[in-house]
Amino acid sequence: MLDHIISAVFLANTVWYGLGFIAFYIRRDVFAKVVVPVQADRNNSAYAAVIESGRFMGGFNFALSALNLGLFLNLAGLETPAQFSLMLAFNALAHGSQFFGNVPMALKNRQGGGLWNVFKGVMLQIFVIDFGLMTANFALALAILF
């Protein structure tokens, strides 16, 4: 049973990071419009840099997706609870960095400010899914060890 849960979490990580690759790398011009929602703010070199930075973020997402696919396809390659927990904790940290990176913007949104709205559309999905996957990976890492 635990193997199925671990597999499901690694598969969910694979899919989520894969979607991140598509959003940041392949469709980086669309995602830039999400983080810079005001058309008037897009007519400068900084906006072009936001678009191009998607390659960097997308590359990391691709690598994380490939790692999780490898873990999903090769659970037997991890032999000890500590090895499973390390991989799950790593994923929790990766998702957590995305979630907690958006917390300051969410707090600004609550006060009526912020550059993008964390509580609307695709940003809300990212915020919620990263929180959920952070929690699932961390809880499973702890459950395996204890």
Name the CA radius of gyration of the chain, rounded.
Answer: 17
Q: Which two tokens stand for residue 44?
A: 């400068």
The model's pLDDT over 66-116, given as tens digits with 9 standing for 90+, comes to: 999 999 999 999 999 999 999 999 999 999 999 999 999 999 999 999 999
pTM of the model: 0.93
Give the C-alpha separation, 93 to 104, whole Å.
Answer: 17
Residue 69, judged by CB atoms within 10 A of its CB (0-12, 13-18, 19+), counts as middle
The model's pLDDT over 2-54, given as tens digits with 9 standing for 90+, comes to: 899 999 999 999 999 999 999 999 999 999 999 999 999 999 999 999 999 99
For residue 1, pLDDT over 90 is answered with no
Among 134, 133, 138, 135, CA closest to 85: 138
Give the C-alpha separation, 77 to 68, whole Å.
Answer: 12
Q: Which two tokens stand for residue 33?
A: 């419009």
What pLDDT is recorded for position 97? Answer: 96
Q: What residue ranges do the domains of the chain occupy?
A: 2-145
